[in-house]
Amino acid sequence: MQAHAGQSLIQLQQVTKRFGDRDVVRDVSWNIQPGEIFGIVGPSGCGKTTTVRLMTGVYIPTTGSVSVLGKNPATFNAHDREQLGYMPQLFVLYPNLNVVENMRFAASMYGVSLTKRRKRIDELLDFVELDQARRTLAGNISGGMQRRLQLAAALVHEPELLFVDEPTAGIDPVLRGRFWDQFKELKAMGKSLVVTTQYVNEVAYCDRVAVMRDGQLLLVDTPDGLRRRALGSDVLTIRVDAEDLRNAVRILSRHQLVLGIERPHNAPLGSMMVYVDDASTALPELLAALATDPTIDTRQVGEYNPPFDDIFITLMERLEQPESKEQINA
């Protein structure tokens, strides 16, 4: 089973899921393309797991439609399911089986042939760096190792599309980074991934990100797009010798590519934040403009990339203001 050429890998159209009298997911629509790492980010309880379950066919939408690999996932047959891998949030393997036994169990569940099984398990334990722990009971390995074992188990049948639900919750930042390295390696192998997270800084690793709150989709954008939405444009940081600041501001403020200039607080003397439409085209032009005055000593230039924690705070503040809601959702 494959999505037809030009067709999205996953399509959600106005999907709502109601439990009792509450819409836990409300009117969510998006298209996910093959080969993407698609992140779903939002606070605990915003509906990430429910949305993943809707995409894997565990839940049926109350209203709206879900299409995965060109089909309604609730009607998947066994062959269709083989294309999907799912790493749930909670540990669902067997604590009384050792690492390799858990892998064998997962392989048998997915019908991986005996001839392929051994090689595949060895490759995966190597991939998730659990080779040394193969004979240790799954109940006795650390939480981070259990997550990695779960990832390996979700990959045992070589799925094309992998759903990973909060793989990094509660684990240390180094291990979190390692998980994302593994997701990037999977993408490089041609896999598509849907990954949920509560850690906004992890959106930097995704190709596109859906931001959810209270069961609603606030926006879908690339990490760069989120940054631009928060900052309003691209921003360059330029530092000149403090004595040259006046001249530099005079030249830059007249330049047609400059939308605005700010002097940041708490920054070294001579620093400017320069707002432009496109940082990569503006940067060489602005440097050339500064160079027309040989007395100006340009010390440092770069693109301003604030951490996503700050970007999300700004985005959320803007969403609180009703008049900017339309702009955020554009």
Per CB under 6 A, which region of 39-47, 139-147, 148-156, 187-195 contacts ligand ATP? 39-47
Select from 45, 170, 225, 264 the one that contacts ligand ATP (CB under 6 A).
Answer: 45
Minimum gap (Å) between residue 303 Cβ and ligand ATP: 32
Q: Which of residues 59-118 bind ligand ATP (CB under 6 A)?
A: 89
Minimum gap (Å) between residue 10 Cβ and ligand ATP: 17
Cα(first)–Cα(last) distance of the chain, in Å? 34
Give the neighbor-by-neighbor strand order of the sheet with 258-262. Answer: 258-262, 271-276, 234-240, 298-303
Would you say 8 or 50 has its CB closer to ligand ATP? 50
Q: Does 46 bind ligand ATP (CB under 6 A)?
A: yes
Q: Does 44 bind ligand ATP (CB under 6 A)?
A: yes
Select from 19, 63, 131, 277 the one that contacts ligand ATP (CB under 6 A).
Answer: 19
Would you say 40 or 290 has its CB closer to ligand ATP? 40
Would you say 30 or 127 has its CB closer to ligand ATP? 30
Would you say 46 or 125 has its CB closer to ligand ATP? 46
Q: Does 306 bind ligand ATP (CB under 6 A)?
A: no
Q: How many residues bind ligand ATP (CB under 6 A)?
A: 13
In terms of Cβ atoms closer than 10 Å to its own Cβ (0-12, 13-18, 19+), residue 319 is middle
Q: Does 47 bind ligand ATP (CB under 6 A)?
A: yes
Q: Does 49 bind ligand ATP (CB under 6 A)?
A: yes
Q: What's the token pair of residue 295?
A: 């007395």
| Residue 73 near residue 229 (C-beta atoms within 8 A) | no
Minimum gap (Å) between residue 85 Cβ and ligand ATP: 18
Would you say 207 or 214 has its CB closer to ligand ATP? 214
Q: What's the token pair of residue 17?
A: 């899921």
Q: Does 307 bind ligand ATP (CB under 6 A)?
A: no
Binding mask 188-207 for ligand ATP (x = CB under 6 A): ----------x---------
Minimum gap (Å) between residue 31 Cβ and ligand ATP: 21
Q: What is the contact surface with ligand ATP in residues (CB under 6 A)?
A: 19, 24, 42, 44-50, 89, 166, 198
